[in-house]
């Protein structure tokens, strides 16, 4: 092959590569979101403590399947027991709740906590106001990969066989939290509220966040505890492409 033909092939290859890069999504640019918020009071109710349903959620025009994922996860937060049925839709939940409730109110929210490295981190919140001192708040995370078009579970985040190592790192983060809050000096607290695993894990830019339901590793009054595992502690545990800046 002549030098001229080699140069021509190289130019074509470079041109094709440039075109492909032009049409690839820009994962550094955050996805556009649209807020969808509503509040409805029980029809016909005229008392000061009328039951209401407040839903504050999101829509992603460029990633519509994420809308359905968020709705499903919010609906799971409406359950008051693990075996309770999940409503078919947010509208169905609203109608049923207002029809059956006499004094309770329900709040559901989905918000973007962060977007980075092609990940959309969504935090979910629920609050069932029962009128008592200890109402029922709930939390959750969605770690959505734009490249894979899927929600990343913990097994998707970790290298094979590293789950035990991950929870050991989480236990260290828990010990650090006890020291920072000086709760490690209270022997009764340490005994009554030991470390636990949590299903709420978020791949934030500043570290891997673990969020705990109320009354799980601390009394209700302390709310939802957050622990942070720094990324350097997860070398060899977390998949390399999930470290910020590496993808």
Query: Rounded distance, CA 120 to CA 143, Å?
Result: 6
Residue 195 has pLDDT above 70, yes or no: yes
Q: What is the pLDDT of residues 123-135, one digit of tens each?
A: 999 999 977 666 7
Tokens in use for 193? 């509220």
Q: What is the pLDDT of residue 30?
A: 93
CATH fold of 154-242 reads Actin; Chain A, domain 4 (3.90.640)
Domain edges within the chain: 34-151, 154-242
Q: Is 116 exposed, middle or buried (0-12, 13-18, 19+ CB in 10 A)?
A: middle
Query: Rounded distance, CA 93 to CA 38, Å?
Result: 13
Write down the architecture of domain 34-151 according to CATH. 2-Layer Sandwich (3.30)
**Percentage of the chain lying above the pLDDT 90 cut:** 79
Note the pTM of the prediction, 2 decimals.
0.87
**Cα 24 to Cα 19, 27, 147, 175, 237, distances in angstroms:** 9, 9, 10, 43, 29
Query: Rounded distance, CA 127 to CA 196, Å?
Result: 23
Q: What is the pLDDT of residues 138-188, one digit of tens each?
A: 999 999 999 999 999 999 999 999 999 999 999 999 999 999 999 999 999
Q: What is the pLDDT of residues 41-69, one digit of tens each?
A: 999 998 888 999 999 999 999 999 999 99
Residue 240 has pLDDT above 70, yes or no: yes
């Amino acid at each position: 092959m002549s030098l001229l033909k080699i140069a021509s092939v190289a130019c074509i290859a470079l041109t094709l590569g440039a075109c492909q890069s032009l049409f690839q999504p820009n994962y550094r640019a955050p996805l556009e979101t649209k807020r969808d918020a509503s509040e409805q009071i029980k029809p016909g109710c005229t008392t000061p403590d009328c039951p209401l349903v407040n839903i504050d959620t999101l829509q992603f025009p460029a990633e519509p399947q994420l809308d359905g994922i968020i709705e499903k996860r919010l609906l799971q937060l409406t359950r008051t027991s693990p075996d309770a049925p999940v409503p078919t839709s947010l509208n169905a939940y609203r109608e049923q709740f207002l029809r059956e409730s006499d004094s309770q109110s329900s709040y559901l929210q989905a918000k973007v906590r962060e977007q980075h490295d092609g990940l959309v981190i969504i935090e979910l919140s629920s609050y069932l106001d029962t009128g008592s001192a200890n109402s029922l708040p709930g939390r959750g995370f969605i770690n959505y990969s734009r490249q894979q078009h899927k929600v990343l579970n913990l097994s998707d985040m970790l290298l094979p066989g590293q789950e035990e190592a991950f929870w050991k790192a989480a236990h260290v983060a828990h010990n650090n939290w006890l020291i920072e809050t000086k709760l490690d000096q209270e022997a009764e607290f340490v005994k009554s509220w030991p470390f636990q695993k949590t299903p709420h894990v978020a791949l934030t830019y500043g570290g891997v966040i673990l969020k705990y339901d109320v009354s799980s590793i601390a009394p209700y009054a302390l709310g939802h505890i957050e622990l942070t595992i720094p990324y350097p502690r997860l070398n060899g545990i977390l998949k390399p492409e999930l470290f910020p800046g590496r993808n």
